[in-house]
């Protein structure tokens, strides 16, 4: 049985806790490896390594740090296929989707290559008599990231790319379900020229999370996961004096106005709802058609499109999506489907019981479609995180606008229409953090920032882009005077610029 070790101070660290987590092959249902769970002492060792490395790394000029990022980008591109296969073997998403996972993380690394410009401060000459004022951005020190199973490449790179480029050192606690690729990323980062200790990977469960949240040397924590845990991470981390950004769950809506290009919208909806088996916080699991005719036409076309979907093993180039990450998660999705039935929603397509010939023990679940969903239903109010699409009918634009605005989550939303005025009004009024206009999965590009509202995000700073630079740095403002001639009397009042 292969053991997956921690990566600390530039090399593998063999854990001594005696505690492990099983890493499955979702295609076959078989255990393929064990991942070690860290002790508090092992976490402390990683933090010490990061703290030691941070002194020299922060003193390295931004251009030289950018060169490491450029070389890391080159290595990511050169090893793309190998990494995608490794990712798919533990997560279950198809290879093309895994490459997309890596590519979206790589784009943040590309953004981080511009760090010399991004770190420039502000300067005012002559703010007062002989007085200049300027500011600088400085790293926080040792920072940490706690990342989920669904994007084991993209989300770690969202975090450590900018954190390290700005002069911090990083502790990554990835998901224990697919931990191999994060270790591979750390190895490649070392190969790119980063000093030992700049990027450390420590595996574990809640024990490791709590060790991060309570360690006094760690100055900031970035988290992506479920909302309940996000709230716990935020409240615990801030109580311990840390800067925290914690991204939670989602229930994204797709609004279909009567004038939408329905052919294109249906293809977009099916891809956004069922791609990666629905295991995306930016998936689109709720569609809100406006008007009975729109809803009836949409339902008919969705059924036709769903029938064309192919579910297969992650290495199948013809598969639209593969298995979900674990048997427990598959069963949880199935329980939500039953919940929808019990609540009175119409189960149009039932994905339960799907089995792939030759891979009957794999963690597969077929595409599922509900109609006649009501906003009072728990299956609508909560995040399912699987290949389940719910039709929630609306009679008017205002009703459709209210559903995502009133929902407990506010991560993403999309509207499909040819009417620019309606789209503009919707984007301005909807109470959601990220909006797509005829774009089903509105994840911003790397030089903008990612973040939701309400219970989809805790903290005031978003992921990557300029927001990421602000999160991982602190501002120092200097007011300087170089007097000439006689020494002035001491001032006993607050200085002004009169």
CATH of the domain at 266: 3.40.309.10
**Residue 444 within a domain:** no
Residue 38: which CATH number? 3.40.605.10
Cα–Cα separations (whole angstroms), residue 485 to 127, 314, 415, 490, 491: 20, 76, 67, 15, 17
Domain-located, residue 211: yes
* Integer Cα distance of 427 and 413 in angstroms: 9
CA distance 286 to 81: 33
In-domain check, residue 299: yes
Q: Is the same domain home to 30 and 75?
A: yes
Same domain assignment for residues 160 and 305: no
Asked if 86 and 157 sit in the same domain, the reply is yes
Residue with tokens 């070389």: 71
Q: Classify residue 486: in a domain, yes or no.
A: no
Does 414 share its domain with 471? no
pLDDT score for 485: 66
Reading the block at residue 482, the tokens are: 């170089």
CA distance linking residue 78 with residue 81, whole number of Å: 8
User: Does any domain span residue 296?
Assistant: yes
Domain extent, residue 110, equals 2-248+456-478
Percent helix, percent strand, percent coil in the chain, to nearest 5: 40, 20, 40
Pair 182, 204 in one domain: yes
Domain count, the chain: 2
Q: Between β-strands 20-25 and 142-146, what pairing exists: parallel, antiparallel or unpaired?
A: unpaired
- List residues with catalytic annotation: 281
Please give the full DSSP string across 31-69, using - where no structure is assigned.
Answer: EEEEEEPPPHHHHHHHHHHHHHHHHHHHHS-HHHHHHHH
Among 224, 246, 212, residue whose Cα is nearest residue 156: 224
The verdict on 175 and 291 lying in the same domain is no
| 236 lies in the same domain as 298 | no
Contact 80, 102 (CB under 8 A): yes
Same domain for 406 and 357, yes or no, is yes
* Residue 231 forms part of a structural domain: yes
Instruction: Give me the residues of the chain with pLDDT under 70, please.
Output: 485-498
Residue 460 Cα to chain centre, angstroms: 16
| 328 and 196, same domain (yes or no) | no
* Cα–Cα distance, 297 to 1 (Å, whole number): 52
Same domain (yes/no): 219, 264: no
* E strand intervals along 263-362: 286-289, 346-349
Q: Is residue 445 part of a domain?
A: no
Domain match, 343 and 238 both: no
* 490 is a domain residue: no
Same domain, 201 and 173: yes
């Amino acid at each position: 049985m292969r053991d997956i070790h921690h990566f600390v101070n530039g090399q593998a660290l063999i854990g001594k806790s005696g505690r492990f987590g099983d890493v499955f092959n979702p295609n076959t249902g078989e255990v393929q490896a064990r991942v070690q769970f860290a002790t508090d002492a092992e976490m402390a060792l990683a933090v010490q390594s990061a703290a030691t490395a941070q002194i020299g790394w922060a003193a390295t000029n931004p251009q030289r740090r950018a060169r490491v990022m450029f070389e890391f980008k080159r290595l990511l591109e050169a090893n793309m296929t190998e990494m995608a296969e490794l990712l798919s073997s533990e997560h279950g998403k198809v290879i093309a989707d895994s490459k997309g996972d890596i590519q979206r993380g790589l784009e943040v690394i590309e953004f981080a290559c511009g760090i010399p410009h991004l770190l420039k401060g502000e300067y005012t000459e002559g703010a007062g008599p002989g007085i200049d004022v300027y500011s600088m951005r400085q790293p926080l020190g040792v920072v940490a990231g706690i990342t989920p199973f669904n994007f084991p490449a993209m989300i770690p790179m969202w975090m450590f790319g900018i954190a390290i480029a700005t002069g911090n050192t990083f502790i990554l606690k990835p998901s224990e379900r697919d931990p191999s690729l994060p270790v591979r990323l750390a190895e490649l980062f070392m190969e790119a020229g980063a000093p030992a200790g700049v990027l450390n990977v420590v595996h574990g469960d809640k024990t490791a999370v709590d060790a991060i949240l309570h360690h006094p040397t760690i100055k900031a924590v970035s988290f992506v996961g479920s909302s309940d845990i996000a709230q716990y991470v935020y409240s615990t981390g801030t109580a311990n004096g840390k800067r925290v950004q914690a991204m939670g769950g989602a229930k994204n809506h797709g609004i279909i106005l009567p004038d939408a290009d329905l052919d294109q919208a249906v293809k977009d909806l099916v891809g956004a709802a069922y791609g990666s088996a629905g295991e995306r916080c930016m998936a689109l699991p709720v569609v809100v058609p406006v008007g009975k005719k729109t809803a009836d036409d949409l339902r008919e076309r969705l059924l036709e499109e769903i029938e064309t979907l192919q579910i297969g093993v992650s290495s199948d180039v013809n598969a639209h999506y593969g298995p979900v990450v674990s048997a427990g998660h598959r069963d949880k999705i199935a329980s939500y489907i039953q919940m929808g039935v019990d609540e009175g929603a119409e189960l149009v397509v039932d994905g339960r019981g799907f089995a792939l010939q030759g891979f009957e023990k794999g963690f597969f679940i077929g595409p599922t479609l509900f109609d006649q969903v009501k906003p009072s239903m728990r299956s609508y109010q909560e995040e399912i995180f699987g290949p389940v699409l719910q039709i929630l009918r609306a009679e008017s634009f205002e009703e459709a606008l209210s559903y995502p605005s009133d929902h407990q989550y506010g991560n993403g939303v999309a509207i499909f229409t040819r009417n620019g005025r309606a789209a503009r009004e919707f984007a301005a009024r909807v109470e959601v953090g990220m909006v797509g206009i005829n774009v089903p999965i509105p994840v911003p590009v790397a030089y903008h920032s990612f973040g939701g509202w309400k219970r989809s995000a805790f903290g005031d700073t978003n992921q990557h882009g300029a927001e990421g630079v602000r999160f991982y740095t602190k501002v120092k403002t200097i007011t300087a005077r170089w007097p000439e001639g006689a020494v002035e009397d001491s001032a006993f009042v607050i200085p002004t610029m009169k």
